Amino acid sequence: MDWRDDGIVLSTRKLGENAARLSVLTRDYGRHAGMVRGATSKSMRGTLEPGNQVRVGWSARLAEHLGQFRCELTGAHAADLLLSPGPLMAMSSACAMLDATLPEREAHPDLFHGTVALMSALKTEQWLPSYIRWEVGLLEELGYGLSLGCCAATNVTTNLAYVSPKSGRAVSQEAGQAYRDRLLPLPAFLSGGAGGQGTDTRKAEDLSDQIRDGLKLTGFFIHRDIFEAKALKPVAARDRLVSHVWRSVPAKEK
């Protein structure tokens, strides 16, 4: 049993005096665990930070064994974000969410590439919208995809303002006006299909409100369809990110 692949470090846990149990998301082998010897050395501690990209080799006598990893750093994202608390929290949240929700040894190449793209996007000013789009992609990859491209009631693709909590489908401003108290707000940067670039004739919202609405939207479906449905504990790293956003992103005055 021996393979090599590109991966993203999700978590490490001390194993004995000098070793660690490493969890990585790989392109071809999904979320995979293995032991790393010498993990407490100075060089390896920097390599095994969650969010870093690595080239990993895994080997074991039998496929069901924990096995051992050999790791080579290819992208030091954790160090790049060290002085950016918000993006660093988003990176920690993404890694913890993947570690908690993905089944082991099941390939998710699209999610892997999306997470690699997120690590780069976290270094830009649009890091929060990028993170929220990533959570929409995670929901889709786990089988709980949201349909945000057209109105569930009228099939129009413009002026989408809400999401049905029952179906996860978008609803236009006109069709949802009478039921808006029972619907979830849809931020403009998520409306218009997979690319999020659809035409929206609504007056432009303040981005801070869109960010809050986006986190509420993804958080609702994550908690209901993943955490509660699978009896999983909420991910503390995501809760810390949301708390940080609520403190640092001011709500628009009504």
232 shares its domain with 164: yes
Write out the chain's pLDDT in tens, 254 residues.
Answer: 799 999 999 999 999 889 999 999 999 999 999 999 999 888 898 999 999 999 999 999 888 899 999 999 999 999 999 999 999 999 999 999 999 999 999 999 999 999 999 999 999 999 999 999 999 999 999 999 999 999 999 999 999 999 999 999 999 999 999 999 999 999 999 985 433 444 444 444 578 899 999 999 999 999 999 999 999 999 999 999 999 999 987 666 54
174 shares its domain with 90: no
Q: What is the pLDDT of residues 188-243, one digit of tens each?
A: 999 854 334 444 444 445 788 999 999 999 999 999 999 999 999 999 999 999 99
16 shares its domain with 45: yes
Amino acid at 123: K
16 shares its domain with 114: yes
Domain total in the chain: 2
Which two tokens mark 180? Answer: 């808006």
166 shares its domain with 91: no
**Among residues 124, 157, 185, which one ends one of the domains?**
124
75 shares its domain with 146: no
**Among residues 76, 92, 124, which one ends one of the domains?**
124
CATH classification of the domain holding 94: 2.40.50.140
110 shares its domain with 146: no
Range of the domain at 199: 130-248
| Cβ-contact 108, 168 below 8 angstroms | no
Residue 253 maps to a domain: no
pLDDT for res 242: 97
Residue 43 maps to a domain: yes
85 shares its domain with 157: no
pLDDT for res 196: 40
194 shares its domain with 235: yes
Residue 17 maps to a domain: yes
29 shares its domain with 46: yes
Counting Cβ atoms within 10 Å, is residue 169 exposed (0-12), middle (13-18) or buried (19+)? middle
Residue 254 maps to a domain: no
